[in-house]
Structure 1
Amino acid sequence: MTSGLRERKKLATRLALHEAALRLVAERGLEHVSIEDITARADVSPRTFFNYFASKDDAVVGLDPAAAARQAEALIARPAGEPAVTAMRALARDQATEMAEDRQLWPLRVQVIEAHPALVGRLVAAFGESDRVLAAAIAERTGTHVDDVLPMLLAAVAAAAMRTSLHRWFASDFTASLPDLVDEAWDAVGAGLPG
């Protein structure tokens, strides 16, 4: 088996577990779904589950652990003369466009998380790790140190802009354009917050 095929199979299994967890929680509620339920729906063993997720909550949230690294690589690959804020805004729009194309899982993920505040803690932890990875990429791109104000602040602002856009997308019953909502958030960032 080639490594490409092996990786695709791993991604397919991870997605099947995430989708099973998400759909079961949407149907029954978080407290009425077990890991055994998820693995039965995904047609894998409970042991296999733990190769992909540490907990039921992680499976429901289903964030890709490699996403932050891919986003950091995409940031570094942006044109060298492009300001860091412009580069981050472009990445956010690209991410929103990709998310909006998934008309089933992303809206369902947002709905389930909004309905189960216990999942927000897991999401915040994942965003915190993503912020650190992005701050390091911003520091590399701008020639600053990761603990300087710009890398940390820009990573946190990017995350806040995306979360705000996702909340607004949910409030529109997913009828608004997520990329346009992201642009609106970045327009507000660019204009500065009113005193």
Structure 2
Amino acid sequence: MSSVGADVGLRERKKQQTREALHRAAIHLYLERGPDSVTVNDICATAGVSRRTFFNYFDSKDDAVLDWNEEQSGGSLAERIVARPADADPLQAVHQAIRAGIRRLLEHPTWRERQQLVRQNPRLAPMAFANNRRTQASIAEGVARRTGLTADDLYPRALAGAAHAVTRTALAQWNPEDPGSELLAILDTSFEMLASGFPAP
């Protein structure tokens, strides 16, 4: 690797480390004090950066809490859907891709806490739902690419809507504060019900 390439790689790693430090500080302070008692200055002081640096990364303190980086779940959901084995039908591919992403997220040190905060503070929900819209669009894109359709066709949009709905339901059923609550098991059961057409229990 050239020295220029190494320098660029180092800068990108430092930027990601700063972003992550701000995110973790915001999560920690929100959980400790509640959102209304936390300021941008508090987050900066905890992360050891200036206000100017903070606003290079985020527009508000809530943005720092709800920060979303697709790399945390293994990259683009659409790409993960496309990469599933060719013999998987579209719904299976979506289930497998979402499951793999959630498994990675569960290993991330702040994702569980982020889920707790959104549940405890309804005013954070609209921003979280904006991420949900991007997720559904990414599912539709992945399904379209697997089937040779466009993301605006009915099949990818309907499958994406259904898969996203059962994923959100699984998340709502899961208790992030209970170590015994198994999100992946709930997710698998939800997708099994969807695949079977929701027969009467």
Q: Calculate the TM-score normalised by the size of structure 1.
A: 0.88
Structure 2 residue 37 is the aligned partner of structure 1 residue 32: yes
Match of 1:88 in 2: 94
1:94-129 Cα shifts (integer Å, max 9, x gaps)? 122212223x41221111111000111001111112
User: Any conservation in 2 of the 1:96–1:182 contact (CA below 8 Å)?
Assistant: no
Distance of 2:56 and 2:189 partners within structure 1:
39
* Higher-RCO chain (CA-CA 8 Å, sequence separation at least 6): 1
Q: After superposing the two structures, state which structure 1 stretch, 150-159 or 113-122, moved more.
A: 150-159
1:10-65 Cα shifts (integer Å, max 9, x gaps)? 22111111111111111111111111111111111122222222222121112215
Structure 2 residue 140 is the aligned partner of structure 1 residue 131: no
Give the 3-state SS of the residue equivalent to 1:136 in structure 2: helix
Q: Name the CA shift for 1:174/1:151 in 2 (closer, same or farther; >3 Å).
A: farther
Q: Which amino acid aligns with 1:144?
A: L
Give the 3-state SS of the residue equivalent to 1:2 in structure 2: helix
Structure 2 residue 79 is the aligned partner of structure 1 residue 73: yes
Match of 1:108 in 2: 113
Aligned identity (percent) is 38
Distance of 1:65 and 1:47 partners within structure 2:
25
Q: Calculate the TM-score normalised by the size of structure 2.
A: 0.86
User: Any conservation in 2 of the 1:107–1:170 contact (CA below 8 Å)?
Assistant: no
Match of 1:180 in 2: 185
Structure number with bigger Rg = 2
Distance of 1:47 and 1:159 partners within structure 2:
37
Structure 2 residue 42 is the aligned partner of structure 1 residue 44: no
Match of 1:58 in 2: 63
Q: Name the CA shift for 1:162/1:14 in 2 (closer, same or farther; >3 Å).
A: farther
User: Any conservation in 2 of the 1:68–1:133 contact (CA below 8 Å)?
Assistant: no
Gaps of 5+ in 2: 1-5
Match of 2:20 in 1: 15
Q: After superposing the two structures, state which structure 1 stretch, 83-92 or 44-53, moved more.
A: 44-53
The two structures, once aligned, show a CA RMSD in angstroms of 2.2
The structural deviation recorded for 1:72 is 1.5
Q: Name the CA shift for 1:95/1:36 in 2 (closer, same or farther; >3 Å).
A: same
Match of 2:3 in 1: none
Structure 2 residue 170 is the aligned partner of structure 1 residue 169: no
